[in-house]
């Protein structure tokens, strides 16, 4: 099979149109897919210490691991991230979480979500 043939007998790589996810530089006021490609995905099971200092909200995100200690499986809590944001951003995050909570509720039989 020629090196430029795709598996399954499809078109050659030369015939395949390139897929463009965004134009560089990205468009104003849009999130850049290229610059966001390596952003971490944070998962947390628990909110650890939290506080506010000089109009900056601080939240510690924790996750639970299962660890073996002396042949016994135990739970282990670890910090996976430190969330810091201005109070205004915290208010926007709280509103987004409240909206997501409403979306997650099972509607009554006659209600629309």
Predicted pLDDT of residue 98 = 96
Cross-strand partners of 56: 53, 86
CB 22 within 8 A of CB 32: yes
Q: Where are the domains of the chain?
A: 41-104
Predicted pLDDT of residue 47 = 96
Our CA angle for 41, 47, 49, nearest 5°, is 120
Predicted pLDDT of residue 105 = 86
Ranges in the chain, pLDDT < 50: 1
Predicted pLDDT of residue 36 = 80
Predicted pLDDT of residue 22 = 57
Q: How many CA atoms lie within 13 A of 97 on its CB side?
A: 6
Predicted pLDDT of residue 97 = 95
Burial class (CB in 10 A: 0-12, 13-18, 19+), 37: exposed
CB 109 within 8 A of CB 81: no
Strands (E) located in the chain: 46-53, 56-69, 72-86
Predicted pLDDT of residue 102 = 93
Predicted pLDDT of residue 57 = 97
């Amino acid at each position: 099979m020629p090196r430029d043939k795709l598996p399954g007998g499809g078109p050659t790589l030369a015939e395949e149109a390139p897929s463009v996810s965004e134009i560089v530089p990205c468009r104003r006021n849009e999130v850049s897919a290229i610059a966001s490609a390596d952003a971490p995905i944070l998962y947390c099971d628990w909110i650890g210490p939290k506080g506010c200092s000089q109009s900056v909200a601080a939240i510690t995100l924790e996750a639970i691991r299962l660890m073996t200690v002396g042949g016994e499986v135990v739970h282990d809590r670890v910090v996976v991230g430190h969330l810091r944001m201005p109070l205004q951003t915290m208010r926007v995050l709280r509103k987004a979480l409240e909206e997501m909570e409403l979306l997650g509720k099972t509607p009554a039989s006659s209600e629309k979500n």
